[in-house]
Structure 1
Amino acid sequence: MEYSFKQAQKADALQIWEILARAIQRRKEDGSNQWQDGYPNPSVIRSDIERGIGHVLVDSNTIVGYCAILINDEPEYTKLKGNWLTNGDFVVYHRVAISEKYLGQGLAKKMLGYVEDFARQHNIHSVKADTNFDNAGMLNIFSKLGYTYCGEVTFRGTPRKAFEKVLTD
């Protein structure tokens, strides 16, 4: 299948929220505390889109995945309990979710490949991300994609594992 990765538009908000709402439910069913505190929510998605940071993975005309991508914009990362691999510019992504109908097809890894391409296009060679200690799926993806565990960050009172991948050309 041919996938494309592009900036989300206002018209995409409902489809994105449906994907995230189901991902929130999946996290709950897995016994995770991640995303069980009212975040993310539709207003977060609208804000992502308005700020130009929301991105979608698309199969034909169907949105199959979502994430927010920012450059040098994660204040909590300055408070890392640990050490980043690099101290320069970085791309950070949040709110990674794949549509229920497309799970198990490696699309989260594909989407994160597009995030790495985004970083390279901006001449940035560091990608940083974090996840809950109990998000086995995302932890597995970090391992498979060559991310290095760097320490802990805290969001909304909850510690999370922080990772970095240094990109080569």
Structure 2
Amino acid sequence: MDYTFRKANPEDQDAIWSILQEGILRRKKDGSNQWQDGYPNADVVKDDIEKEIGYVLESGNEIAGYSAVIINDEPAYADIQGKWLSDSDFVVVHRIAIAENHTGKGLSKQILLSIEDFAKDNGIFSIKVDTNHDNVAMLKIFEKLGYVYCGEVFFRGSARKAFEKVIV
């Protein structure tokens, strides 16, 4: 199947929010505390699109996945308890979610690989991410793709595992 990774537009907002709601329910079903506190929400999606940091993975005319992709802007990452691999420009990835009818196809990995291409296209060779300690699926994906555990960062009062991948 061919997938297209592109910037989200306002018409995508409802589909993206639906995908994130499915992800919220999936996290809960998996016993994870991630995304169980009212975040993300529809306002976050609207804000991502307005700031032009929301991206979708499209299969034909259907949105199969979503992620926020941010260059050099995550204040929480400045206060890592640990050490990043690099101090250069970086791409931050937040809110990876896959539509329920597209799970199990490796699309989170596809999104991360698309973000690697995005980073290289922008002359950036570092990707920084974080996830809850109990998001086993995402932790496995980071490991498979060569992300290195760098320490902990804190969001909304809770610790998250932080990873970096230096790409060449």
TM range (shorter): over 0.9
* Cα root mean square deviation, aligned: 0.4
Q: Distance in 2 between matches of 1:104 and 1:54?
A: 22
Q: Distance in 1 between matches of 2:162 and 2:142?
A: 10
**What's 2:57 paired with?**
57
Percentage of pairs with the same residue: 57
Question: What secondary structure is seen at the aligned counterpart in 2 of 1:162?
Answer: strand
Question: What secondary structure is seen at the aligned counterpart in 2 of 1:38?
Answer: coil
Structure 2 residues without counterparts, runs of 5 or longer:
none
Per-residue CA deviation, residues 57-100 of structure 1 (Å, 9 max, x unaligned), is 00000000000000000000000000000001000010000010
**What's 1:40 paired with?**
40
**What's 2:129 paired with?**
129
Q: CA deviation at 1:135?
A: 0.1
Question: What secondary structure is seen at the aligned counterpart in 2 of 1:105?
Answer: coil
Q: CA deviation at 1:45?
A: 0.1
Aligned: 1:75 with 2:88: no
**What's 2:5 paired with?**
5
Q: Distance in 1 between matches of 2:107 and 2:31?
A: 23
Q: Distance in 2 between matches of 1:142 and 1:2?
A: 23
Q: Distance in 1 between matches of 2:93 and 2:23?
A: 16
Q: Distance in 1 between matches of 2:110 and 2:44?
A: 24
**What's 2:156 paired with?**
156
TM-score, normalized by length of structure 2?
0.99
Alignment-mate amino acid for residue 105 of structure 2: Q
Q: CA deviation at 1:39?
A: 0.3
Alignment-mate amino acid for residue 70 of structure 2: L
Q: Distance in 2 between matches of 1:144 and 1:31?
A: 22
Q: CA deviation at 1:104?
A: 0.6
Q: Distance in 2 between matches of 1:72 and 1:109?
A: 22
Q: Distance in 1 between matches of 2:107 and 2:152?
A: 26
**What's 1:93 paired with?**
93
Moved over 6 A (4+): none
TM-score, normalized by length of structure 1?
0.99
Alignment-mate amino acid for residue 135 of structure 1: N
Question: What secondary structure is seen at the aligned counterpart in 2 of 1:101?
Answer: helix
Q: Distance in 2 between matches of 1:86 and 1:14?
A: 37
**What's 1:142 paired with?**
142
